[in-house]
Amino acid sequence: MSVIDSGWWVEVRPLITSKLEPANFVPVLDVLYGLGRSFRFLMVNTKDKDVVGRFFVRFYLQVCDEQAKVQVSNVIRALLDVEVVSIDFPVVEQFGVCVDLELAKNYALPIVSFQQEQLVNLVDELVASFAGVQVCLEVIAVADPNAALGVQKFVYKKTSHDPWLGKALLDQGTDFLGQAIGINQKDTPTKKSSQIKVDSWTRECVKNAEHKLYSNLFTCQINIYGDSLRNANGVKSVLPLAMNRFRTFKIHKNQPLTPKLKTPKKHHIRNNVLCNLWWTIPLCLLLFAGVLGWFNPLKFFSSTIFTVDLVLPVLAAGLVVCLFVAFKKRQPIVLSTLELAQMIGLPSAVAKLPVALGKVPTARMQLGQQQQTPEKQKTTPTPTTTEKAKPPVKTDTQATHHLHGFLNE
């Protein structure tokens, strides 16, 4: 068992009578976006204390402070038919594998289709994939308004027609040479403005990226914990995908859940500086060795024994591979409110899935009984005045006795 940081935690338990729509946590995420602080959502498959071998999926939410906890709890109670329980900390099992996820493409491409209506609750599929296995889905997110700049750059690259560096230099050189020779630019035919030919796929990508541009964006860190890599990958295969999808960035073994709530990163230093070390450091080492006279590239192919001229390039090649693996680029996970609500939320099929249910309030149960009582009274028919005024109908036996008495007389 591993205990997480005793921060500001709540457990959200759906009721047996709950009628939850897909993406039911969108209003809650909008409130969390307005707070501007980090939060964490856990979907954990826990053991039942009463029945051996029985598991229940529980939903936990951690926020930044006590005020945010009270505010988010009130919003959840007001908008959803659930029970919100304040807890000190969740106690979960120790998992053997942790799958650290990243996006496969630029985060401007969404993992859901904004053009189609979400008719299926994807949280139902996530909860169903938890059945019978010890797994946990961890989503840490924080509001990031600056992430819209990355989406704008993506849209600009797809819609603009900037010439590459070689063509730009060639055009400048041609203009300078024409002025030197004395050709008048007015005499040269004007260049026609070439329009960009955009295919249907690029047009669809730009349309979805623009929709994401005007949405609330969150920078996220998503981890899947499991007792085995197979079970963790089973949960990963159920995650939403459309123009973009999740893929494994790194696999950790015997790593506990993050004890404290940390702010997710977009890995700017890694993607802009560290990712170039795989070729800059080996090249600088070879140049430095050449300046000192330890390495001569002309003797590399002529040397037949293990000399310095042969060993240094081999070591540099090994260093290239190690640095490339250690500091490879990582696509940040930036999701909109609708995308994040496909993973952070509650299932709709509460009665069919192994979910820890909440207690229905007593006042609500009494109200239901009061609503059923008048209906029962309406079903029992009451005699009308005409029915009360009718004389009693004689039976066949009574009529026979009257006939015998009349004949005897």
* Helix or strand holding residue 268 (H, E): helix 268-272
Domain membership of residue 396 (yes or no) is no
CA distance 86 to 69: 9
pLDDT (mean) for 312-322: 85
Q: Which domain holds residue 302?
A: 274-326
Query: What pTM value is reported for the model?
Result: 0.74
User: Residues near 72 by Cβ (< 8 Å), separated by ≥ 6?
Assistant: 10, 28, 31, 32, 61, 63
Tokens for 107? 């985060």
Among the listed residues 215, 221, 275, 289, the one whose alpha carbon sits nearest the alpha carbon of residue 250: 221
56-102 pLDDT per residue, tens: 899 999 998 899 999 999 999 999 989 999 988 887 878 889 999 99
Termini Cα distance of the chain: 102
Residues 289 and 336 placed together within one structural domain of the fold: no
Number of domains forming the structure of the chain: 2
- pLDDT score of 197: 63
The DSSP 8-state label assigned to residue 250 in this structure reads E
216 and 123 in a common domain? yes
Q: Is 185 helix (H, G, I), strand (E, B) or coil?
A: coil
CA distance 360 to 392: 52
Residues 258, 313 within the same domain: no
pLDDT digits (tens, 9 = 90+) for 104-117: 999 999 999 887 77
Whether residues 246 and 98 share a domain: the answer is yes
Q: What are the tens digits of pLDDT across the range 234-291?
A: 999 999 999 999 999 999 998 888 778 888 887 878 878 888 888 888 888 888 888 8
CA distance 182 to 30: 64
Closest listed residue to residue 43, CA positions, set 86, 94, 97, 92: 92
- Residue 82 in any domain: the answer is yes
Residue 181 lies in a domain: no
Structure tokens at 86: 């304040």
Pair (69, 97) in one structural domain:
yes
339 vs 171, which has greater pLDDT? 339
Is 101 part of any domain?
yes
Q: What is the mean pLDDT of residues 204-229?
A: 92
